[in-house]
Each structure stands twice: as structure tokens, then as C-alpha cells.
Chain A
């Protein structure tokens, strides 16, 4: 399989470095640094949580908790383990999936509902991408994946499903989903020129 050509785009290194040092200032209690972090990351945090939870009121509540968590735990950010924005998005995604998986009503989402959201989830990626260059790059890179890779990644990340739930929804073997998600993400990574 040929590796897809990286899609050219602006280097994010500048912003990433800036966020790294902003977080170090937040850890020392610098509220103006926290305001800048908020302005840069509240959008992706809220958008991601909405994507997973779908309920705007609940998403707002979880997004607030996440951003407050960033303030509270800033000293625990370790740049050797990844970028600041990834650290924040990890907290946001985990909080969102914890919420989805702990709510027993949600846990009983029947297969029909879930199957219906498969289509929505994949369509929405296509709909929401036009705005900026970043979205455009993500869209172009998602387009280099196979349909089944794209579907598995979308269900897991935006849908908040575990990979065994994804396997159940798509009615394929666990091992298949495992490799689909990994292969797809690796292809995305190479396509977007993520260097880590």
C-alpha cells in the first residue's frame, strides 16, 4: 500500500510551542495566560464534546469541567509526552466518553439508534469541514482512507464507542477493527505530516 502524499499546510509548531509555554505559566497561577489558552482551545474542546455527547447543555457543562481541569492540573502537563493541545483534547475526549459510558441510559442505546448515527457521524465530517484550512486538510486526509477505516475511526472518536462496540455496530471481527483503526490513523498521521 502506497503512503499518501502529505498535504501541504502551515506548520503548527509555532502555535504548539506557544501553548506549551502558556500552560507552564498557567501552572504558576497566571490567569491572563489561562485566558489565552481558553480562547485558543475552548472551541475545539466544546466542539469535540458536542460531537460525542450531542446534547448542547450537557456538553457545555462537561466543557466547563474540562477547562477548569486544565487550570487545576496544568502543573501535571508533561511536554515530553505530547503537545499541550493534545493533552487538553485528551482530557476533553476522555471526559466526554466517560460521560457517555457511565450513563446507564446511554449504555443501553440500542443497536438501531447507534446504526442510524453511523451515517450521521460520517456525513457530518464532510459537512463541517469547509471553514478553514485545518478542516480542509483533515477532510483531504480523511478522504485518503478507505471507507471502512474512516467509518471505524469516526465511530470510535466522534461516536465515543469502544472498539468492541464499533466491531458490533459494523458486524466485523474485533481484530479487524483493531487494525482498521490503527492503519487508518497511521495513514492520517502521515498524510497530515504529524511528526511525533
Chain B
């Protein structure tokens, strides 16, 4: 992996499902930043993330993850990345420990590295006391936390999260937010989508706003304010997206 390259670079990315979902998107996310990708419903955020993580093949354009071209070397690009979808599907008949064992196996993590990391994550996310239960009985928040633990077990450099705070209670949401900040503090990169604009306002170093599959604005909160009449991120967002609902 090229250490000088950005964490993520998208060039003229396109995807159409009858009508364009992502329409020539250019985006660069630097290493070590927390980037929030915002947009109204149907703007193409999830489609973009699914193309970045290799779940969806783009119609055109390039995806470069940590300096590795996703199309040329998918395994290499995926090795340093983790993706947490908005509604993570876990295996209901597995226990949390077994789920982590499986994810570690998928990323080829050595047992001696994976084991302490798994213990630490389970403890930190308050899942250790539920480690002997099947995940089918978990609440939405517990499932989200376990999926997050799975995403972090291989210590990815780039963490991509689609609506990570949906369905979490205040305490769990705080834990996740702390975890994201800590990941960035340790040199990692986080890209997240969220409809909770306060989260983006407080956590993100840069914010990108997409509408109809195109990046319509990007920058720090101050830069975005300068482009509009100012106010909160909500005001900025609503002005830029012309009042479309989030």
C-alpha cells in the first residue's frame, strides 16, 4: 500500500439502476481524517459506499482504497478496510466470540493477534457478559456493537460506516462515537454517513454533501458555512440541498 496516497479516491464513479444513482462522483478522503458523507434520502450515499467496499460493481469510474485499485486488486484493497452496513446481518445461531472468530478468519488474522483484540473489543463494548448467548436474541444496539467489533477485529486503516448510530441508545451511541474518534486519533480514517447532522457537526473534520449522485459541496464546517448564509450544519445542509428531506 502506498503511504502517500489518500485513504480513498473516487474518480468519475457512476452507477445506474435505470436512473443514475451515482453520477460521475469524484471524491478524495485523506488518511487520518473523519469524513462525513451527507445527503438526502436516495442521494446515492449507500450505493457509493457499496461500490467502495466491492459489494457493487460500478458502471464506470475508479475506486482506489489506500492506494490500491479496487478493480485490479480487490483483495488487497479490502485488506485494510472494514465496512459496517446500516443494518448489519449477523449469524443468529453464532455466539459473539464465534462471530469474531469467523470475521478474523475472513481477514486472515493470526490467532495470537486476534484473540487479545477480541477480548478487548468485547469488554470495551460491554458484550463480554453476553459472549455465551446466540446473537439472534440480541437487541438492535447489541447487534450493531457486535458488528462494529467485527469491523475492528482486523484493525482496519479505513473504517466505512453507513448510519452507524441508528437504533443505538445514548450510552451505546456515545461508545461508538468515542471509538470512532479514538480510531482517527490513532491514525485511522473513518468515512461515515449519517442523518444525525449534530454527529457530523461534532465529529467530522470534513463533510461532503451529495445530491442525485453528485458531490455538490465539500469542506470543513467553516468552509461550508462560508459558502452559505452560515448557521448550524442543518441550516447549511438544508440550503445546499434546497430543502430536500434528509
Interaction A to B: no
Q: Which residue numbers of B lie inside 8 Å of A, CB to CB? A: none
